[in-house]
Amino acid sequence: MKPKPEPYGALLALALAAGAVACPAAAQDSDWPKHGRDAAETRYSPLDQINTGNVDRLEVAWNWEIPKTGARLETTPLVVDGVLYGTAALSFVFALDAVTGDEIWRWDPAIPTDENGGPRACCGDVNRGVALHGDKVIVGLLDGRLVALDRADGSVRWTTHTTVPGSDYTITGAPRVIGDAVVIGNGGAEYGVRGYVTAYEVETGEQLWRTYTVPGNPADGFESQSMRAAAETWTGEWWIAGGGGTVWDAMAVDPEADLIYIGTGNGSPWSRDNRSPGGGDNLYLAAILALDPADGAIRWHYQTTPGDDWDYTATQPLMLLDLEIDGREREVIVQAPKNGFFYVVDRITGELVSAEAFADDLTWATHVDPESGRPVETPEARYGMTGKPVYLAPGPSGAHNWPTMSWNPGAGLVYIPATNNNYYYEKLPTFDYQPGIWNTGTVRENTGQRPSRPGLNGPPNLLLAWDPAENREVWRVVAEGGHGGTVSTGGDLVFWGTGTRLAALDARTGEELWSAEVGREAGSPVTYATGGRQYVSVAAALT
């Protein structure tokens, strides 16, 4: 028998065919310098050399084989001054010439896989990208290190441990830079950790502040008044299993408001009745937090899923928008988290503006009460309290997960890579925290006694065009298999990964105008211009 080939992938760049370029791309607005392109994480580029009238002449300009793909490729490449910086599985980092695809440097931290003694990652050895600041490329590693590399040659400038070495924390998300600080979170709630974010001095790696997202053991004291208040919403000995609330992805920055926003994850364990037997909201799980970038203090919070019982994280992409809503200009933060509702929240005060269901399959709650801002749960949703196992939608993979949203200001639409699914929730009769394995507090093995899984109302995967001002769907396109992230452009286009293809859609109507086979799964596409030519780039696994 032949050995199974190692998976590999490619980073592709596409551009218009020769003769299709009517005018050179503008020099301004040509880079993709941040994870979401801008601090607001809109993933919108005003570049319009590639547009609805000529996108059908898009062709591959170059491709570069990625040596490590792991579970899948979720990276968002950054492009500045003609150089593209990206990541792959096991925190592998590379720099390429953005015009030719020629390799400039690569850096491999040599992190072993889980099977070979490496970090235990809940959901794959992925990495979503780097941050850039001056002459440094900053990356979070799967084993918990934060490393600054030299932009010119990839050599290590500084390294710091953001977690205790050997612990069950991991890093898969991209760092964010605000001022002279770089902020990074972590993952690992399934293994029993306590979530936090940390800011480091970008030039030296020295820790500036750390903010925990859930309280620790009260006997050890509280790090802040926010943690003291949060502890009032927990019961039992929650700290033994860590509590969860990890910040493994979403962040956004508002420099004018002087706030950094983070999204927090699920509880550890999932089951609230095994985590906090007396109930409670369990702050600050499954919440959007606004932090002071000077010291990390929590300025406000909005909890999308109080007392999370279902792994409904709020770590999905965040986006800052200025919208006219009901005749009034509003500065808002929007999110489509796992729980299936699209939230519009005042980003200065944390007040809920509106929340509407975007998932076709949503059975854990009927709606979000506009007065209290809380979900109205269905009678069967609290499976631990009722003692009755139940299929609920969405399941722990969520109605939206890591695939990136994008915004088109001309169309006034947010593009959501959405998912419909359900899951069987059953509380473990007894729960004892066990280090080194998944601790969900639920029965995960199907012994054949479960009822048949209910059918779904909606397609498994789709792209939704969503009007955030009116909080409603405008159009949808069904995915062919899985899907990846999105980018929207001034050419009235939305690019997204659907099945094994990268497709370009009309941003206003959803009509597919172009597509190309790129591989098994696509990450998050970006667009940039250099040398008068606009490119679209995406990482995709090929085997």
Find residue 375's DSSP bridge partners.
368
* The amino acid at 486: T
Tokens, residue 218: 């009260």
CA distance 233 to 237: 12
Place of tokens 């969405």: 394
Tokens, residue 169: 């924390």
Closest-CA residue to 488 (of 404, 419, 401)? 404
CA distance 512 to 458: 20
Confirm if 356 and 342 have CB atoms less than 8 A apart. Answer: yes
Q: Cα-atom radius of gyration of the chain, to the nearest Å? A: 22
> How far does Cα 402 stand from its chain's mean position?
4
Closest-CA residue to 480 (of 466, 504, 500, 494)? 500
Place of tokens 């979000």: 368
Residue ranges of alpha helices (H) inside 70-153 are none
Tell me how far CA of residue 254 lies from CA of 288, 337, 344, 407, in angstroms: 14, 20, 16, 17
CA distance 352 to 369: 10
Closest-CA residue to 507 (of 540, 463, 539)? 463
* The amino acid at 359: A
Q: Is 311 a catalytic site residue?
A: yes
**3-class DSSP assignment, residue 55:** helix
Tell me how far CA of residue 441 lies from CA of 75, 192, 196, 351, 453, in angstroms: 31, 11, 22, 32, 21
CA distance 187 to 264: 10
- Which residues, at least 6 apart from 421, have a Cβ–Cβ distance to it below 8 Å? 361, 393, 394, 395, 397, 398, 399, 456, 460
Confirm if 138 and 154 have CB atoms less than 8 A apart. Answer: no
Catalytic residue (choose from 273, 311, 361, 492) = 311
Q: Look up residue 432 and give its DSSP letter.
A: -
Catalytic machinery residues: 311
